[in-house]
């Protein structure tokens, strides 16, 4: 069902034969590539390097592209003016987590260079599957609590608005099905934590199992697909993001905002 829903969404908004995927070498982005390919599109994976430095993330992504017969383009991001780039990013979109800064930094740098009319972005799946730090033990056992919290987080999510802002500036379509497609979101909301994150017979935890099951054949063809991305760590982007808050060239207001990105979110969760 998920496979078909993603295909339908891609077909509905894609004007041409070519579809790009901002690829993070994880299950989230792999599933989007599969759905685009199965819908008859020519898939191109877009991956990044920083200042020409290679990484295991890029190497693994190239191997996946070869196995799946997808195209792949490696884009190099020059971080020589990194803090200026971050200031510009924070002036155009709203972010509240360190990982979101990394994600949207990559998107903002790559979007102007992409040639496809439609580019898919894998953000949003962790919320749908209940895998962010907001979730606790009660959400794994109480379906109503799980549903309520996911709805709350989706309402507060800045991903859709940020996608619109970035695609407008780049004059290209940026689409995050796991954060923007009502049909896909409803598909996940109808399921409890165990249905999404347990193997077929319910004998053990397998995070994002529902997605793995939807693309079982494609995963067998590709080989090992990581559940979570290590792209930002592997490329060194995480280290750069962590240094942002220490940089005095960013004014106090922005530094304070970035500080909030890096703090423990227990206080925020307590307010939910």
241-250 pLDDT tens trace: 887 766 555 5
- Confidence class for position 261, pLDDT limits 50, 70, 90: very low
Print the domain residue range for 60: 2-270
**What does the mean pLDDT of the chain come to?**
88
Rounded-to-integer distance, Cα 33 and Cα 2, Å? 13
Report the number of distinct structural domains present in the chain.
1
Cα 129-5-16 angle, rounded to 5 deg:
120
* For residues 110-136, average pLDDT: 94
Model confidence at 15: pLDDT above 50? yes
Rounded-to-integer distance, Cα 35 and Cα 9, Å? 9
Of 14, 64, 71, the C-alpha closest to 44 is 71
197: its two tokens: 């994150």
Question: Using a CB cutoff of 8 Å and minimum separation of 24, what contacts does 86-89 make?
Answer: 86/244, 86/250, 87/250, 87/254
Rounded-to-integer distance, Cα 34 and Cα 69, Å? 11
How distant is the alpha carbon of residue 182 from its chain centre?
17
pLDDT score of 265: 38
pLDDT score of 99: 80
Rounded-to-integer distance, Cα 237 and Cα 231, Å? 8
Q: Which region holds residue 51: left if phi is over 0, alpha if psi is between -120 and 50, else beta?
A: left
- DSSP secondary structure string, 208-227? THHHHHHTHHHHHHH----S
102: its two tokens: 């990394």
Q: What element of type H or E holds 102?
A: helix 98-110
* For residues 70-96, average pLDDT: 89
- Confidence class for position 3, pLDDT limits 50, 70, 90: very high
Contact residues for 196 (Cβ-Cβ < 8 A; gap 6+): 128, 129, 130, 188, 208, 209, 210
- Confidence class for position 262, pLDDT limits 50, 70, 90: very low
Q: How many Cα atoms sit within 13 Å of 246 on the Cβ side?
A: 5
What residues are paired with 198 via a beta bridge?
205
Model confidence at 264: pLDDT above 70? no
Q: What is the CATH number of the domain that holds 197?
A: 3.40.50.620
């Amino acid at each position: 069902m998920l496979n078909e829903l993603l295909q339908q969404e891609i077909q509905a908004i894609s004007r041409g034969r070519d579809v790009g995927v901002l690829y993070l070498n994880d299950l989230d982005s792999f599933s989007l590539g599969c759905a685009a390919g199965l819908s008859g599109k020519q898939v191109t994976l877009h991956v990044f390097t920083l200042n020409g430095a290679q990484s295991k993330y890029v190497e693994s992504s190239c191997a996946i592209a070869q196995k799946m017969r997808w195209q792949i383009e490696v884009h190099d991001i020059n971080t020589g003016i990194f803090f200026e780039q971050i200031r510009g990013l924070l002036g155009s979109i709203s972010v509240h987590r360190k990982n979101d800064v990394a994600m949207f930094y990559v998107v903002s740098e790559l979007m102007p260079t992409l040639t496809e009319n439609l580019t898919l972005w894998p953000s949003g799946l962790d919320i749908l599957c209940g895998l962010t730090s907001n979730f606790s033990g009660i959400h794994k056992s109480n379906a109503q609590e799980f549903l309520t919290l996911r709805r709350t987080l989706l309402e507060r999510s800045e991903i859709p608005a940020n996608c619109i802002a970035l695609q407008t500036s780049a004059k290209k379509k940026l689409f995050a099905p796991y954060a923007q497609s009502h049909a896909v979101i409803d598909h996940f909301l109808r399921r409890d934590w165990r249905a999404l994150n347990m193997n077929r017979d319910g004998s053990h935890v397998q995070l994002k199992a529902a997605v793995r099951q939807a693309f079982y054949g494609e995963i067998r063809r590709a080989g090992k697909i990581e559940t979570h991305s290590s792209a930002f760590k592997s490329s060194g982007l995480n280290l750069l993001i962590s240094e942002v808050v220490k940089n005095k060239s960013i004014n106090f207001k922005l530094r304070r905002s970035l500080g909030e990105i890096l703090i423990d979110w227990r206080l925020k969760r307590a307010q939910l």
